[in-house]
């Protein structure tokens, strides 16, 4: 056994390494860590989200002994139902994470088949060949864990998302003792979160948000509306504390937020008096200065509560002058434009808007450079593998590790699909397993690929022009004027002349045509429109002969 290999395989498809799904393989046993989604780039047109490419595991489904989900954020939980549909292995999670998973699994009709197990930070669980120590880490959601994975090839520490917050909202700091104990045992490899590796210093404590909320509550004369993620349970606790202190009632708006609050209160992760919370209807009946509303939409999603408030399309209530809106989150990369547009619109509607750029109403849940160095010193690993990040962030994390003494040859900066093997205390890169983006669009998983997205790009860039020709079967002459329909090409009402000219030229083409009329007309229309407009719409020609 001792000589068997441990293989670690990040299975995220393209994109952020290890954040979405990681496989640990030893002998016949496979352990999966996290099943997250990625958010599409702005140029992945029409794509709802991206799930990990776990093709590699499909013919090994029987060997997957367990799936651990380290915490309840979408980029670690979001693909759970896609994975369970193919690989129905036992799922291990702490109570809050499990609660969030259950809501998701229930919505996707898998409640009866999913095999969920509750673990607590501090627990040790045997999963196939892996003895897993769950240890508590601070993050921007309670009940997050990192993993000490003891394998016959050695001990691997998997950080999960973490920060070293000395004053967390739930007063439960990261488990330093356990990290030191790992170090005593001897750590073969550390896999650590790289999200903030470009950020110097130490990430501020979640507690600074209390101080930032204080002036908001002290000066707001009207309603206070606070937008954040539905999974940011600790933020809800902080707002509840402030509401209580300043004598306001608190209402949660929207299904995802209300569902999560109900679950988190039941499990004891939210602690506030029953009479602090009112329904939205009750809140709207009270004086403006007596209420706080919490809602989703901090990423500027147009269909969220905040998105609808900013565009004036919310059903239950409207924004009004005197409202104070607090956006308590950081734009996910690629969302900056949408978030700023939402802020501008909220200002336009007369609200006062408080957001991260002007006040510390949000802090990161991820470790910064000094914390990263601390984690490495605490665990003293032989090998170091930066995970959870784009390549640039992995590179910076590797740079930090080198700075504090990990030799370059003991650091593996890899992309998803790259197999890392450990055998007899040595690390080697093996052949990469195939991986790609798996797009989820509507009900379809993977039926939209890059080629379809490229077609969408072409359609989106210059639109389409449809030409229908009806010819006399005998004479080959046009029976009527050609029909020309456009979408996304040009304002037709203001460009009648251009369209008339196209029709005129089509008529001439038909007269002159020899050979393939359809192809000739298509070519002619394309080049005529390019000459006139410098645009290349997608042109379709249909010909009927009657």
- Site residues for a second copy per CB under 8 A: 41-43, 45-46, 198, 333-334, 336-337, 340-341, 343-344, 347-348, 353, 355, 357-358, 390-392, 395-396, 415, 441-444, 447-449, 451-453, 455-464, 466, 468, 470, 473, 483, 485, 487-491, 494-495, 532-535, 538, 540, 542, 544-546
Catalytic entry in 193, 323, 441, 462:
193
Of residues 258 and 364, the one with the C-beta less far from a second copy: 364
Name the token pair of 109: 């009709």
Least Å from the CB of residue 519 to a second copy: 15
- How far is CA 93 from each of CA 132, 229, 520, rounded to the nearest angstrom? 12, 20, 63
9 forms beta bridges with 23
Which of helix, strand or coil describes residue 490?
coil
**Strand order across the beta sheet in which 249-252 lies:** 249-252, 291-295, 224-227, 324-327, 352-355
Of residues 159 and 396, the one with the C-beta less far from a second copy: 396
Least Å from the CB of residue 253 to a second copy: 23
Name the token pair of 263: 């679950």
Catalytic entry in 366, 388, 441, 462:
366
Owner of token pair 């120590």:
133
Of residues 29 and 41, the one with the C-beta less far from a second copy: 41
The angle at the Cα of 439, spanning 397 to 109, to the nearest 5 degrees, equals: 105
Least Å from the CB of residue 425 to a second copy: 29
Least Å from the CB of residue 351 to a second copy: 10
Of residues 296 and 310, the one with the C-beta less far from a second copy: 310
Assess whether 193 carries a catalytic annotation.
Answer: yes
Sign of CA dihedral 295, 300, 301, 302: positive
Of residues 273 and 333, the one with the C-beta less far from a second copy: 333
Least Å from the CB of residue 360 to a second copy: 11
Least Å from the CB of residue 446 to a second copy: 9
Of residues 336 and 508, the one with the C-beta less far from a second copy: 336
Least Å from the CB of residue 179 to a second copy: 27
Using DSSP bridges, classify how beta strands 438-441 and 444-445 pair: parallel, antiparallel or unpaired: antiparallel
Q: What whole-number distance in Å separates Cα of residue 22 and Cα of residue 66? A: 12
Of residues 275 and 531, the one with the C-beta less far from a second copy: 531
Continuous segment of H or E residues that includes residue 348: helix 336-348
Pick from 427, 373, 391: nearest CA to 18 = 391
Residues whose CB is less than 8 angstroms from the CB of residue 411 and which lie 6 or more positions away in sequence, other chains included: 383, 384, 385, 386, 398, 401, 402
Dihedral angle over CA of 226, 228, 233, 234, nearest 10:
-70
Name the token pair of 350: 């007369």
Active site residues: 193, 366
């Amino acid at each position: 056994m001792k000589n068997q290999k441990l293989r670690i395989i990040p299975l995220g498809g393209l994109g952020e390494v290890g954040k979405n799904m990681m496989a640990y393989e030893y002998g016949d046993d496979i352990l999966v860590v996290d099943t997250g989604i990625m958010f599409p780039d702005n140029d992945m047109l029409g794509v709802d989200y991206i799930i990990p490419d776990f093709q590699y595991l499909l013919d090994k489904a029987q060997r997957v002994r367990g799936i651990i989900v380290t915490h309840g954020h979408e980029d670690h939980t979001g693909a759970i139902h896609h994975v369970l549909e193919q690989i129905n292995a036992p799922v291990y999670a702490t109570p809050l994470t499990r609660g969030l998973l259950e809501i998701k699994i229930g919505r996707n009709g898998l409640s009866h088949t999913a095999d969920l197990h509750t673990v607590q930070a501090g627990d040790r669980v045997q999963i196939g060949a892996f003895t897993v120590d769950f240890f508590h880490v601070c993050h921007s959601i309670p009940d997050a864990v990192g993993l000490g994975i003891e394998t016959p090839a050695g001990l691997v520490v998997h950080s999960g998302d973490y920060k070293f917050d000395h004053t967390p909202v739930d007063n439960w700091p990261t488990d330093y003792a356990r990290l030191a104990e790992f170090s005593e045992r001897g750590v073969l490899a550390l896999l650590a979160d790289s999200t903030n590796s470009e950020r110097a210093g130490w990430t501020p404590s979640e507690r600074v948000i209390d101080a930032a909320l204080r002036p908001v509550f002290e000066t707001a004369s009207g309603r206070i509306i606070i937008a954040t993620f539905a999974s940011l349970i600790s933020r809800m606790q902080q707002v509840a504390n402030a509401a209580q202190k300043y004598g306001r009632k608190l209402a949660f708006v929207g299904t995802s937020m209300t569902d999560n609050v109900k679950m988190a209160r039941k499990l004891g992760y939210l602690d506030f008096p029953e009479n602090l919370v009112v329904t939205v209807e009750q809140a709207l009946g009270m004086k403006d200065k007596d209420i706080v509303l919490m809602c989703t939409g901090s990423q500027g999603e147009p269909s969220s509560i905040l998105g609808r408030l900013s565009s004036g399309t919310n059903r239950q209530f409207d924004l009004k002058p005197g409202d104070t809106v607090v956006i308590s989150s950081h734009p996910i990369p690629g969302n900056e434009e949408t978030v700023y547009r939402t802020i501008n619109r909220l200002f336009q509607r007369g609200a006062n808007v408080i957001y991260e750029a002007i006040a510390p109403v949000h802090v990161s849940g991820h470790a910064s450079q000094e914390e990263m160095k601390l984690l490495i010193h605490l665990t003293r690993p032989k090998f170091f593998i930066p995970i959870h990040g784009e390549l640039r962030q992995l590179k910076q994390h590797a740079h930090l590790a080198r700075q504090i003494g990990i030799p370059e040859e003991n650091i593996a900066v890899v992309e998803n699909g790259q197999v890392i093997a450990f055998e007899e205390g040595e690390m080697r890169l093996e052949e990469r397993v195939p991986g790609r983006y798996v797009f989820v669009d509507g009900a379809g998983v993977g039926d939209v690929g890059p080629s379809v997205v490229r077609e969408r790009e072409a359609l989106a860039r210059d639109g389409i022009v449809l030409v229908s020709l009806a010819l006399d079967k005998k004479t080959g002459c046009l029976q009527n004027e050609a029909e020309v329909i456009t979408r996304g090409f040009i304002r037709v009402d203001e460009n009648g002349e251009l369209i008339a000219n196209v029709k005129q030229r089509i008529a001439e083409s038909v007269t002159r045509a020899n050979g393939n009329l359809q192809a000739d007309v298509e070519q002619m229309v394309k080049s005529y429109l390019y000459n006139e407009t410098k645009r290349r719409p997608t042109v379709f020609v249909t010909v009927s002969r009657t």
